[in-house]
Amino acid sequence: MKAPRHIAAIVCLFCVFSAFQSVAWHYWHHEAGWRPSWWQSHALAWFGDFILQLAVMPLVFFQRLDIYNDAVHWVAVVFGVAIVFTLIYLVAFGFATLLFRSLHGFRNHTKVA
């Protein structure tokens, strides 16, 4: 059953796009009179900001321990992003698998020799 894997990958790509929207909307300095383009959405930016806030939780943990090393901070952010997107993939895969099995009656078939 490859459909749940594809659905989970598309959900992860959507989350990456929304995280990029968040960075583009909130953290870049725009020129005066800047207007968002047709593909930029404040709702997507808010969702991406929520994802990025979850991803920087290890960074907050190290700052609470008074560890202020740039290398440790970058490793913590990369680790947090990897964990968040892995969890997003697993949740989307589990939900898509459950949905396909309950609605369409798909089962994993074994080969009979």
Q: Is the dihedral of CA 2, 3, 8, 13 positive or negative?
A: positive
**pTM: predicted TM-score of the whole model, two decimal places:** 0.78
**pLDDT surpasses 80 at 106:** no
Q: What is the pLDDT of residues 64-73, one digit of tens each?
A: 888 888 888 8
* Cα distance between the two ends of the chain: 20
Count helices and strands (H / E) in the chain.
4, 0
Mean pLDDT of 100-108: 72
